[in-house]
Amino acid sequence: MLRGRLLENESLAAYTSWRVGGPATYVYIPADLTDTANFIKQLPLDLNVCWLGLGSNTLVRDSGINGVVIITQGALNSITQCGPLTLKVEAGVSCAQIARYSARIGLTGLEFMAGIPGTVGGALAMNAGCYGGETWQTVCKVDMLSRDGEIRTREAGDFEVSYRHVRSFPNEWFVAGYFELKKGEKKESLEKIRVLLEKRNMAQPTSWPNGGSVFRNPVGLYAAKLIEECGLKGLKMGNARVSEKHANFIINEGNATASDIESLINKISSIVEEQKGIRLIPEVCMIG
């Protein structure tokens, strides 16, 4: 018996941080992890499955998604302390929430996650990071949900992890991560988070709909600096614009389409390659 909500032909614009995206054939908002597993188990094998947390770092195309999208935020939201220094965190927990939670109980190592505008599931899937920290630095194991509805625990060493990339297992999805942390000082950790968020708000266009950093940083370089040096701040396609505040962000000025954003991404990439001889690789996941 399923306990979540199944929506048909549901627009995904409300579920993405860019506020764009066409409809999905189905959207499922599960009740909890058990309900998610039961839902996955009864799906036809030929039905495409996508996952969204906060919908950051994701561009859903205007044509939408032919398949089912599972929304983890608000559903897979459990945090459990498994030992003095270990936290088990489900995929729908926001990165900002686990940063603060761990700091408040006197554990250190996840403060940087306050600057990641997504959920733990997405952070695990792409080794998200910022301000010198990366998600998998403290991961000791993970729980994976398979297409047959089984939950399997895998060790961190079972995965190939690199900059903004994790080689996972086919037909398995991250549903929880186990983080091995260190003893810290609550006051010190919370102050570190406060300073980090202040820095982020000063440097990034947080008041506009955006998808987070658009391009990966090339080795030894910064994508934002390359884009800025090419004079692309403020460049527009429709209602999508390269932020004047941070050149590696594209903002939705209102009623932008996913096509506007994707065209702008391609334009930036083309100009930077032409002027700098460097091909920028999108960090954003484009689906649909």
pLDDT tens for each residue of the chain, 288 residues long? 899 999 999 999 999 999 999 999 999 999 999 999 999 999 999 999 999 999 999 999 999 999 999 999 989 999 999 999 999 999 999 999 999 999 999 999 999 999 999 999 999 999 999 988 999 999 999 999 999 999 999 999 999 999 999 999 999 999 999 999 999 999 999 999 999 999 999 999 999 999 999 999 999 999 999 999 999 999 999 999 999 999 999 999 999 999 999 999 999 999 999 999 999 999 999 999
d(CA 239, CA 185): 45
pLDDT for residue 1: 84
Burial 230-248 (b: 16+ CB within 10 A, else e): bebeebebeebbbbebbbb
Domain 5-71 indexed as CATH 3.30.43.10: yes
Cite the residue boundaries of each domain of the chain with CATH code 3.90.78.10: 223-287
Q: Could you give the count of Cα atoms lying within 13 Å of 195 in the half-sphere of its Cβ?
A: 8
d(CA 210, CA 56): 8
pLDDT for residue 63: 97
Dihedrals phi, psi of 253, to nearest 5 degrees: -75, -5
Q: Do 33 and 76 contact (CB within 8 A), yes or no?
A: yes
Cite the residue boundaries of each domain of the chain with CATH code 3.30.43.10: 5-71
What are the respective helix, strand and coil percentages of the chain, to the nearest 5?
30, 30, 40
- Catalytic center residues: 164, 213, 283
Cite the residue boundaries of each domain of the chain with CATH code 3.30.465.10: 79-202
* 223-287: CATH topology: 3.90.78
Domain 79-202 indexed as CATH 3.30.465.10: yes
SS3 of residue 23 by DSSP:
strand
Q: Which two tokens stand for residue 135?
A: 């998600």
46 burial via Cβ count (<10 Å: 0-12, 13-18, 19+)? exposed
Whole-structure pTM value: 0.93
Q: Which two tokens stand for residue 12?
A: 């995904």
